[in-house]
């Protein structure tokens, strides 16, 4: 799984809990990873747009404190894609673990 696919997986996982706007998605990724991972604007929004074009997320604009915000939510197709991506990620983690090993 490359970095682009990892970002897509993280976005879908964040949206599994509840709909969010872009900045909140980035903050959730940072918070859940305890600051080790980040989703920069230059990669986050293109990923969100691609996920929307694929029908994995949908977005709606709404007003918050006088400003328009675009909120993203997972679709049913997105829920299925999240499950598939999680399984692929787990296989990759297991494969890397088998290669690098560790103390027995």
Domains of the chain: 3-92 (1.10.10.10)
Asked if 11 and 25 count as a contact pair (C-beta separation under 8 A), the reply is: yes
User: Angle 63-8-33 (CA atoms, 0-180°, nearest 5)?
Assistant: 85
> Above 90 in pLDDT, residue 1?
no
Asked whether residue 64 carries a pLDDT value surpassing 90, the answer given is: no
Global confidence as pTM: 0.90
pLDDT digits over 37-62, tens only? Answer: 999 989 999 999 999 999 999 999 98
pLDDT band at 20 (very low <50, low <70, confident <90, very high): very high
Residue 63's pLDDT band (cuts 50, 70, 90)? confident
Residue 31 has pLDDT above 80, yes or no: yes
Mean pLDDT across the stretch 19-23? 95
d(CA 12, CA 27): 14
Confidence of residue 8 (pLDDT cuts 50, 70, 90): very high
**Contact (Cβ atoms closer than 8 angstroms) between residue 12 and residue 56:** yes
């Amino acid at each position: 799984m490359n970095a682009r696919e990892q970002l897509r997986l993280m976005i879908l996982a964040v949206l599994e809990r509840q709909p969010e706007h872009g900045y909140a998605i980035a903050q959730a990724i940072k918070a859940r990873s305890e600051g080790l991972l980040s989703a920069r604007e230059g990669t986050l929004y293109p990923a969100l747009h691609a996920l929307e074009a694929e029908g994995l997320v949908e977005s709606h604009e709404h007003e918050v404190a006088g400003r328009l915000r675009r909120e993203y939510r997972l679709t049913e197709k997105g829920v299925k894609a999240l499950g598939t991506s999680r399984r692929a990620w787990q296989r990759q983690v297991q494969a890397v673990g088998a290669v690098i090993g560790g103390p027995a």
